[in-house]
Structure 1
């Protein structure tokens, strides 16, 4: 990859003065990532310590090899913990949990009450929600890779990714690169991004979820002006913001996401398109990073995957926060406030 697109980027840490205006100082992307990761772990530890007396719940598992009842710990045990009681195959293949036949639940999210549990895999009869969780996860991981792909001198500000739409043919992440107004990635740069993506997936990282207060979310993303502005709208309904952590990378998503990066199989970052805003838009330009992936275990020959790759190179017309020409008619596309 070219000199400009290697190593880490710089980001900005914002603190508010008495007039409410941001005072800006530069920190490296690694420092920003480490800071969010540290705050995430501290909050997770605090929430666990606040549980107090451990209560038991009944989890009625339905599925192979046999239905059974598991006695688990309220607010501590997760569907993944339940899967561990059933066997290694269940932990590796289960991407999502279905509670009481209606609620889709992250595999690493603690269970809060008695429930019926079904484990969802990619080959189930009705995989729509699992596929959406997979696509949503691919977007979040794309943001993680793009964050660390650029050199020190290139600020990288993640903006957002629209809701998953499998029919579009690509997962996406819209990113602000303020010092690269006319960047057109070379094939080698795209290949390097893909390699970064594959490397992250091969680490077989669990994808953790944590619901935090609006105040803590703002503190965690004080270095990112785009996400800081989105957080109040995200928290408006419940006062909470759902965070996900992959390795040390923390991002915002309403979820649910799949269980582990090892469940992302063949993948390619296919293209980057410039999105230009209207003259009165606060953000003049975003870059839409696009990619395509298959779940682990789904096998396609090189020719078939190349067809998917070519399709994923075309500009995805999902709703854009700054592009008035994006497709606004598709109800599958979620608003920025709703998040990905």
Structure 2
């Protein structure tokens, strides 16, 4: 019995979509990373083209060397662009921007309206929000590190990382390694992970932010079942998902994050724990990667940093994962 033409066409389309979906699910970690990077680039370009006619906004800078008013481009210029007018020190040392004395803003996020602008460094009087952005960024980069550290035949699926809690003693990323059910990393493997992390920080990549719709986010992470489960809940508020790109690595985070990976100084991946019989996850091969870091310019002797490293080796238990 032959199918009618209309039903046959629908069957072919369904089969084609199924094959495309299966091919995406079978991408290597590197191929999936490059695919997300490519889609991020296309969407960023598309959003920039939607700006259309350029409007001017006034940004009133508050701080040293002197206060001034900058005329910038609405939805195009970023706090980092403002910092370029003030000098190299502001570009390198500013981790976050503070708008209208109340809103913490990514350095590479376009400004949408006239505002007052202050730059926040790691040594300001009240660094709580900067520290949280630093910790959150360290987790995101740890995910990037895990994605590139393993051989091509090892599947790496990033799961999630918790909201920053400096009291825990370490930043965290939970990673699914389905082909390594009983991995117990050696000290040498931890050194290798730390070396990969340092390599990423020394590239001094700017950390780009982009908001995308739920459908595009699902397409970008269609190779990762953990992310696709999380995205609908993340998009519930306004239908948007906030993404960040470090080099060619794209991940989900509510932000804000610091300006660049070059602002991460001394760092080590201290431990990797397999989550056994935990209520935190139903994934069998879920590993908790943990590390500790200092901002660039922070001075701490080897002995003191070793104490922080030892503390960061202890398994951090969480009750809820927040991006």
Same structural fold, with TM-score higher than 0.5 when normalized by the shorter chain: yes
Task: Please list, as runs of the form range in 1=range in 2, the aligned pairs for 1:123-272 lying within 5 A after superposition.
Answer: 123-272=123-272
State the structure with more CA Rg: 2
1:5 match: none
Q: Structure 2: how far apart are the matches of 1:101 and 1:234? A: 27
Distance 1:202 1:278, change over 3 A: closer
Q: Structure 1: how far apart are the matches of 2:133 and 2:281? A: 31
2:109 match: 109
2:273 match: 273
1:52 match: 52
Deviations 1:182-207 (CA, angstroms, capped at 9, x unpaired)? 11100000000000000110011100
Q: Structure 1: how far apart are the matches of 2:117 and 2:315? A: 39
Number of equivalences? 309
Unaligned stretches of 5+ residues in structure 2:
1-13
Q: Give the Å deviation of 1:230.
A: 0.3
Distance 1:17 1:218, change over 3 A: farther
Q: Structure 1: how far apart are the matches of 2:131 and 2:31? A: 33
Deviations 1:24-62 (CA, angstroms, capped at 9, x unpaired)? 332222211111111000000000101000000011111
Deviations 1:247-292 (CA, angstroms, capped at 9, x unpaired)? 0000000000000100000000000011124699642341000000
Q: Structure 2: how far apart are the matches of 1:109 and 1:78? A: 5
Q: Structure 1: how far apart are the matches of 2:278 and 2:195? A: 34
**RMSD, matched Cα:** 2.0
Q: Give the Å deviation of 1:70.
A: 0.6
- Greater fraction helix: 2
> Does 2:22 match 1:24?
yes
SS at match of 2:275: strand
Q: Structure 1: how far apart are the matches of 2:276 and 2:20? A: 25
Residues 277 and 283 of structure 1 are in contact (CA less than 8 Å); yes or no, is this contact kept in structure 2? no
Q: TM-score, normalised by structure 1?
A: 0.87
Residues 278 and 284 of structure 1 are in contact (CA less than 8 Å); yes or no, is this contact kept in structure 2? no
Q: TM-score, normalised by structure 2?
A: 0.92
Q: Structure 2: how far apart are the matches of 1:114 and 1:229? A: 38
SS at match of 1:192: helix
Deviations 1:293-332 (CA, angstroms, capped at 9, x unpaired)? 000000111000000000000011233xxxxxxxxxxxxx
